[in-house]
Amino acid sequence: PRERGQEKIYNSHLNLWPKAAKEPELMTTSLSPLNSAPTTIGPMERYDYRLEFQRSSDGKRLDAGRVNPYWLEFLWEQAIFQGQRRGTVGPDPSQAIINEHPQFLKDPEGSLKSISVSAGDGTNMHETQFELSAAFSAPGEEALKKLVEGGLLTAEDKATFRVYAKPSAKVAEQETNGVRATLKRDPLPLLDEGCLEDYMEKATLNGELDEKDHPLFVPRELFEKAREYCFKTGRQEGGAMIVARMYRQTEPQPEIFVVAHAVMELRHAKQSLFGFEPTSDTFADLNKQLHLRRSRLGFPDEMPAVLVHNHPFEPSVRDDGEANCPTCPLQQTCELTSSFYSASDVNFHLSMYGRQPFVTGVVIGLTPRQEDDVRMFCLDGTRTRERGFYWLD
């Protein structure tokens, strides 16, 4: 989609949600678990996933081709982190054993309803469920764009999509001549101290939490500093990175919770009223600041936790930057907001932090009454969704 202010303009009016089914009976197929090699990530056997769109006007079915396996890696990473939260995976993600479970509708064609991914040590496993629309949102948009560009769908078409799966014909490469490629990962710098309940007693929930959402605590005073960085240039978007420490508790139940610790300005970015684009200099500067904090200030366990940026425009803003809110008779009761994750925000988050599912994003938007509206977003499959967090006073 193209973007104009807070509005998303799609080239084709397509419904990317799969057709609803009335309590379908499920057939579940599981992949074989990984070998016990301590530095391998990814199922040893794979499924090939294929997308199909069906045009509503005439029922014509359009094969959108095979889904790039790259997209499934985002699901694995999120499942591994959920396993780390629940104690089935240790700090080192490369030791995780993964099982992939496509869930099929019991229909003649065997299309998918959802996917679940379990992660653990082979004995203790935690399963994470992904709705079809979450798992295949990004590859669906990618396939949709190609169909429109190829003239198979027009701007006026409506369509639904299905996903099919079959075991991949490609068998994972086995060890050859005593050589095996492995993937090594840095373990999470988890601190085995602190108690979640102690933080909960002095925290205020902002928004709503899903069972997939790890507890995240942000001191208000620290967030005000992040806000100052974001609004530093006035009528341009700005950004900041909140870094945090990650704590692990085992009793009364396993959990990982994150406590914001410091904030750093994201400098050297390209900025405009409707855009904030970090550059290579932005991340070089950020990495330098992190290195200095870790090596000289004694904070080796700090991790990027919350990417903050602002939308300094009212929800009715047009391309020229003018807003209708001040003259609108509904201003005092209107619930519109400019706090949202745009398509470019989603793509940026996937590309930069898709393999760090504990990193969230915050948008400081405005209501029609010029009030701050603070909302947090996280990855869910290959898309983002809104989630809650805790204020610390």
In angstroms, the Cα distances linking 207 to 14, 111, 211, 219 are 29, 35, 13, 16
Rounded to whole angstroms, how far apart are CA atoms 315 and 193?
43
Q: What pLDDT is recorded for position 50?
A: 94
CB 247 within 8 A of CB 256: yes
60-62-64 Cα angle (round to 5):
165
pLDDT at 236: 87
Q: Could you give phi then psi for residue 219, rounded to 5 degrees?
A: -65, 135
- Between 36 and 231, residue with greater pLDDT: 231
Share of the chain above pLDDT 70, in %: 83
- Per residue in 94-114, pLDDT (tens digit) is 889 998 889 998 877 889 999
Kindly state the percentage of the chain with pLDDT values over 90: 56
Cα separations in angstroms, 266 against 174, 178, 343, 364: 44, 46, 20, 15
Rounded to whole angstroms, how far apart are CA atoms 2 and 150?
18
Predicted confidence band of residue 276 (pLDDT cuts 50, 70, 90): confident
Within 13 Å, how many C-alpha atoms sit on residue 46's CB side?
A: 18
Q: How many CB atoms lie within 10 A of CB 58?
A: 7
The C-alpha atoms of residue 99 and residue 116 are separated, in whole angstroms, by: 8
Residue 292 has pLDDT above 70, yes or no: yes
Tell me the CATH class for 190-392.
alpha beta
Give the burial string for 110-139 (b: 16+ CB within 10 Å, else e). ebbbbbbbbbbeeeebbbbbbbbbbbbbbb
By the 8 A CB rule, do 274 and 5 touch? yes
Gap between the Cα atoms of 203 and 198, Å rounded: 9
Distance separating alpha carbons of residues 123 and 87, to the nearest angstrom = 12
Q: Where in the chain is the domain with CATH 3.40.140.10?
A: 190-392
Q: Region 60-68: what's the mean pLDDT?
A: 93
* 53: helix, strand or coil: strand
Question: Quick one: DSSP state of residue 21?
Answer: -
Distance of CA 171 to the CA centre of its chain: 29
CA 126, 132, 134, 137 torsion: positive or negative? positive
Q: What are phi and psi of 307, to 5 degrees?
A: -90, 115
- Give mean pLDDT, residues 122-144: 94
Strand partners, 239: 309
Look up residue 341 and give its amino acid.
Y
Model pLDDT for residues 346-355, shown as the tens digit of each residue: 988 998 899 9
Question: CB under 8 Å to 306, separation ≥6 — which residues?
Answer: 216, 218, 241, 242, 244, 260, 359, 360, 361, 362, 376
Average pLDDT over residues 355-377: 94
Residues 6 or more apart in contact with residue 205 via CB below 8 angstroms: 388, 389, 390, 391
Could you tell me the pLDDT band of residue 324, with boundaries at 50, 70 and 90?
Answer: confident
Cα separation, 33 vs 40, in Å, equals 12
